[in-house]
């Protein structure tokens, strides 16, 4: 299959190969939206190991399994032949998983003869178009197409109907450390939250703070910028060690006042810092300075 033909087909999504699969049926109509080629034993069908989708909500699978028990599989699973009477899923892994939960012995399939590249492309396009991928899975799918099949970000944008910047921002998420990527995959962070953390010095700590406090994306961006600025701030000038006379004087004044006293020399002058913990201690300092002791 040529690159141009592949891209033209993929640009129209799965409809280019298997017909319109998402057309709504009339209320109460459980007929298949696309006629299957055949039914095959469910154990003869295997998932595509390169399918970008890795996370399936268990509660949603159980709901779908209940629907399948009542109505059957309305939308066939799209497969390709791997060996004689053995098939690999191109699209429809969620339905296949739910069918297993429902106890189906056979499932309806549409068989299409496509190569590894096209199977991967279709799996990514189908999931992206149906918003079935979490942001991390989407980014990993894009990375896989770029690494294995030489797609550019512009190519991917045209295929999936997204802007090049959307693809680039998705790929940036892969720069995050594993704990943050796990939070993104689990849904405790959104893609907007995660993108704000890419350039920060400690994205893991910030991600946990954002999740714990339920910060908005805007607040997360402000928090991230604060940490980035702190990271880029010039280092403070090292202080010279204090001489023994200064240290002794600090200790003497601290003992007399009952408050922490710090003396810092600057050239021929300097400053004395007295630390107090309460308004009563402040009032005592004022009393002593005014000579009312």
Q: Are 147 and 139 in contact (CB under 8 A)?
A: no
- Three-state DSSP class for residue 39: strand
Return d(Cα 42, Cα 85) in angstroms, integer: 11
128 to each of 4, 37, 132, 163, how far by Cα in Å?
Answer: 20, 25, 6, 13
Check residue 150 and report its DSSP letter.
-
Return d(Cα 192, Cα 173) in angstroms, integer: 10
Check residue 137 and report its DSSP letter.
H
User: How is 81-136 classified by DSSP, letter by letter?
Assistant: EEETTEEEEEE-HHHHHHHHHHT-SEEEEEE----HHHHHHHHHHHHHHTT-S-HH
Spatial CB neighbours of 111, under 8 Å, sequence gap ≥ 6: 37, 38, 79, 80, 81, 87
Phi/psi region, residue 215 (left: phi>0; alpha: psi -120 to 50; beta: rest), is beta
Is residue 138 part of the annotated active site? The answer reads no
Which residue is catalytic, options 43, 58, 60, 93? 93
Return d(Cα 221, Cα 227) in angstroms, integer: 10
Task: For residue 248, give the nearest of 233, 261, 238 by alpha carbon.
Answer: 261
Q: Rounded to 5 degrees, what angle do the CA atoms 216, 219, 221 make?
A: 110
Return d(Cα 248, Cα 250) in angstroms, integer: 5
Question: So which residues are the catalytic ones?
Answer: 93
């Amino acid at each position: 299959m040529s690159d141009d033909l592949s891209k033209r087909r993929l640009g129209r999504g799965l409809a280019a190969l298997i017909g319109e699969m998402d057309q709504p049926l009339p209320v109460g109509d459980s007929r298949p939206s696309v006629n299957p080629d055949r039914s095959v034993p469910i154990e003869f069908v295997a998932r595509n190991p390169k399918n970008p989708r890795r996370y399936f909500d268990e509660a949603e699978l159980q709901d779908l399994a209940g629907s399948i028990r009542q109505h059957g599989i309305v939308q066939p699973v799209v497969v390709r032949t791997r060996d004689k009477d053995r098939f690999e899923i191109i699209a429809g892994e969620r339905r296949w998983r739910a069918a297993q939960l429902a106890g189906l012995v056979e499932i309806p399939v549409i068989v299409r003869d496509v190569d590894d590249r096209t199977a991967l492309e279709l799996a990514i396009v189908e999931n992206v178009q149906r918003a079935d991928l979490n942001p991390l899975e989407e980014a990993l799918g894009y990375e896989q197409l770029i690494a294995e099949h030489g797609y550019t970000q512009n190519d991917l944008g045209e295929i999936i109907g997204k802007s090049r910047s959307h693809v680039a921002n998705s790929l940036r998420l892969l720069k995050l450390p594993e704990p943050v990527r796990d939070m993104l995959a689990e849904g405790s962070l959104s893609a907007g939250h995660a993108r704000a953390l890419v350039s920060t010095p400690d994205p893991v700590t910030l991600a946990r703070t954002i999740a714990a406090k339920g910060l908005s994306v805007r607040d997360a961006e402000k928090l991230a910028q604060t940490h980035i600025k702190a990271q880029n701030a010039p280092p403070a000038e090292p202080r010279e060690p204090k001489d023994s006379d200064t240290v002794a004087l600090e200790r003497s004044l601290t003992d007399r006042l009952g408050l922490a006293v710090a003396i810092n020399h600057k050239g021929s002058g300097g400053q004395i810092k007295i630390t107090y913990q309460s308004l009563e201690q402040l009032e005592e300092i004022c009393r002593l300075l005014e000579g009312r002791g």
